[in-house]
Structure 1
Amino acid sequence: MADYPAPHLIEFPRLGAPGIGYISVGENAKDPLPFAVQRVFWTYYTPESIVRGRHAHHRTEQLLFAVAGRITVTTETATGDIQIFRLEDPNVGLYVPPSAWHTMQYSHTAVQLVLASQAYAEEDYIREYAAFRERWAQQT
């Protein structure tokens, strides 16, 4: 099994000023991006009562951003370590390794941007929690 870091926040540079606005940039796939981006997607208009995610990946690494609103992300690693992250600053992304089960809850105005290391492949998803625990327990 590849050795991935635990879920953690990555702060991107915030260039600009209040009077003109800001831009944040990640370039060269490694600074501060931890992988080459192969897929980009975003979610929006998600009702606050809905919990999304509820899966892990075999191979895909992700960076999650709340480009608007607030997103509460709960991660669980193969070792059982559970962390809760509150994303609400658009220049801070949450790194989610393949081995982390994750769920997201959104504020009414939230827009989530996701950068992924792999193209979409249904076989990369672990959608059943019991299968996640079994798969990663074998690796720890």
Structure 2
Amino acid sequence: MSSNLQTPLSPRLLDDVPAFGDPRGSLGVLEGAQLLFDIKRVYYLYDVPIGAIRGEHGHKQLEQLMICMHGKTEVTLNDGQQQYPFTLAGPADVLYVPPGMWRQLRFVMPETVVCVLASRPYEVEDYLYEYEDFLTWVRQGKPLQD
């Protein structure tokens, strides 16, 4: 079950993600309260050409954590009133994306890999694929569907 009541509903980079390094390499860890929600789906984007745009849709209920596992991507989130720009430049950058955000990811380095942890399974009815439909949904007070 999502913990919307306990999490801030604004996008933000997590600043409390522990990382451990030694001569063998680095280990990043996300667990417990850092996850902000129960994970129901994991997917990743890769082999995306430089300059290509992914996303360009909104979600009504879905929460996400985006992690740039390799490379660099520019993420622009929009709540219908304000834009929130972020640059994810490695696995230490973890972006929380609350529900009700239009998203756009621009891939700016070769071989970039972005992993997404999602609070819900794929549900076509949760997606808003047209920006005008997203804005209409926002103006209507963001009614949620179960």
- Work out the CA distance in 2 between the residues paired with 1:58 and 1:5: 12
Q: Give the root-mean-square deviation of aligned CA atoms.
A: 1.5
- Work out the CA distance in 1 between the residues paired with 2:28 and 2:73: 19
- Work out the CA distance in 2 between the residues paired with 1:5 and 1:92: 18
Alpha-carbon displacement from aligned partner over 1:45-84 (angstroms, at most 9, x marks no partner)? 1011321100110111001111000010001113x11111
Name segments (4+ residues, structure 1) moved above 6 Å. none
Aligned residues: 135
Runs of 5+ consecutive residues of structure 2 not aligned to the other structure = none
**Aligned match of 1:42 in 37, 41, 44?**
44
- Work out the CA distance in 1 between the residues paired with 2:129 and 2:140: 17
| Length-normalised TM-score, structure 2 | 0.87
Q: How does 1:70-89 map to 2 (within 5 A)?
A: 70-78=72-80, 80-89=81-90
Seq. identity, %: 33
- Work out the CA distance in 2 between the residues paired with 1:21 and 1:134: 47
Matching residue of 2:104: 103
- Name which of structure 1's ranges 4-13 and 120-129 shifts more when overlaid on structure 2: 4-13
- Work out the CA distance in 2 between the residues paired with 1:46 and 1:108: 8
The alpha carbon displacement at 1:139 in A equals 1.2
Matching residue of 2:92: 91
Instruction: State the AA in 2 paired with 1:16.
Output: G
The alpha carbon displacement at 1:138 in A equals 1.6
- Name which of structure 1's ranges 88-97 and 3-12 shifts more when overlaid on structure 2: 3-12
